[in-house]
Amino acid sequence: MTPMDDIEAVRPWEDWKSSIHTAVIFFFVFLICLEVCLWIRGCGQKKSLPGPFPWPLVGNAMQLGQMPHLTFCKMAQIYGNVFKIKLGTHDIIVLNGESTIRQALVKHSAEFAGRPNFSSFKVVSGGKSMAFGAYSDLWKTHKKIAHSTLRAFSTVNTQSTKLLEEHVAAEVEDLIQVFLHLSSGGEYFNPFYECHVAIANIICALCFGKRYSHDDQEFKALLGRHDKFGQTVGAGSLVDLLPWLQSFPNPVRSLHQSFKDLNIEFFNFVKDKVSQHRKTYNPEITRDMSDAFIGLIDYGEEKVLSTEYVESTLMDLFGAGQDTNSAALTWMILLLIKYPHIQKKLQEEIDRVVGQGRMPTAEDRAKLPYVQAFIYESLRLSSFVPMTIPHSTTSDVIIDGFYIPRNTIVFVNQWSVNHDVNKWTNPDQFQPERFLNENGQLDKDLIHGVMIFSLGTRRCIGDQLSMLQLFLFTCILLHRCSFHSDPKEELTMNSTNGLTIKPLPFGVSVRARRLRRNQEILG
């Protein structure tokens, strides 16, 4: 074979090797391009969650401070409305801003309807809590029964609503007498405890048909320990997120044990009342909510829930209703004395519509737009439930382009909505007029922007009942009394933290009003 023949023999091999080399390069270029395309596409759908750097063992727990909702607002300015923090070994997603929260809790309601598998949640209401229980078909049935009963007690012009009005009127009358007694001689007092007893008595009357004296020692002790509940189940609870703290003596371990004891005590309190109702139950007469739930759960056509759900439902209502409404009422009294010109304007509207010859009723609500605006502005400014009860995701979901996997704990920052500078003009100022339109009527679209009862599947089912109670308390108290601040005291909006936030102790003096005659008022 000649050298030329060798060259001719090698050339096909080199041509084939060159083709393979070209094909391999093309293949790798194709893979790189595909990876880039997938990465670009993924950035639009599964962006990496931003957030502060977590420290070993404790995560970001030390960064949250005494008011986590305010810390989260500051973090949102850096990381956006969706970001991740770490508490202990748990990854937590924090949601801020109305559009983001509505997207999660309304558009993806089912995906965000879960509750974390927290140890504290398992001891609430005998382990059958609707507010803290896991999302399931059984939970949906439980909610449907509870919601239908509450709606009957909060719809205007029903027999149940009239019963509520009677309870509120009687309770306010007693509360006024206590206020006047504490104010005798020009004294000033902190109204929180008396408001707490009054609201708790309304819940007791609705649930069990019985109220307690403001001086009842057993009832007083029970209410006095109730703050432990909010401190434990609030967002960021170290009891649930850092469970290893329970392994040695420390304040967290003590708090968790107190929380367990409190739930047992509350459950036994409710169980005793329900037992008495079952013994005297008459299907022809609905005396209160205990009878209503016994009828639906014990004797209903579809016995889906066991009888223990009567006690657990009532315990949920009793626990949640007294804490939130007493906090709201205390904030409103603070705002009345902080802004006396607004108090005067409220009384003028009530005097003009209601007059002197009767008490305010639920039917007056549509004719008292400024009173309603005052209530909504009080809820917005105080944001006394700054964070919802922690959620968890029931499936993988994408929010604002961020991928959130199933069983992720989610904190929802309601405060960020109520104090959003892009939504509210001067959000840190108290301006009830913001909720009135140019005709002086309540702006129904704007009031829905106040976020205090959460949204979606886990929205508080007692929202209408709470709003009706707050309306009646506000109207009747202002119809009968005037509230005055201690001139030696500087009033602030500073608060204590928990599941609900309450104003720091402040002094108030209450005086009975001497109304003018109807013709003078109307003239």
3-state SS, residue 56: coil
DSSP 330: H
Q: Which residue has the tokens 């009646």?
A: 472
Contact (CB, 8 A) for 456 and 143: no
Q: Which amino acid is at 234?
A: G
Tell me the β-bridge partners of 92.
85, 409
Contact (CB, 8 A) for 145 and 305: yes
**What is the rounded CA–CA span in Å between residue 71 and residue 93?**
14
Tokens at 234, concatenated: 């609030």
- Where helices occur in 234-307 by DSSP H, the ranges are 238-241, 251-279, 289-293
User: Using DSSP, how many helices (H) and how many strands (E) does the chain show?
Assistant: 18, 10
Comparing C-alpha atoms, which of 323, 435, 452, 416 is closest to residue 374? Answer: 435
Q: Which amino acid is at 6?
A: D
Contact (CB, 8 A) for 405 and 109: no
3-state SS, residue 93: strand
Q: What is the helix, strand, coil percentage profile of the chain, to 5?
A: 60, 10, 30
- Where helices occur in 402-449 by DSSP H, the ranges are 414-418, 444-447
Q: How many CB atoms lie within 10 A of CB 140?
A: 13
3-state SS, residue 403: strand
**What is the rounded CA–CA span in Å between residue 447 and residue 312?**
32
Does the annotation place 460 within a ligand binding site? yes
**What is the rounded CA–CA span in Å between residue 442 and residue 377?**
12
Tokens at 317, concatenated: 């209502």
Q: Cα separations (Å) of 453 from 32, 101, 113, 186, 318?
A: 49, 13, 14, 38, 16
Q: Is 246 exposed, middle or buried, given 0-12, 13-18 or 19+ CB atoms closer than 10 A?
A: middle
Query: What's the distance, CA 327 to chain centroid?
Result: 12
Please give the annotated binding residues for heme, written as ranges: 460
Q: Which residues are annotated as a binding site?
A: 460
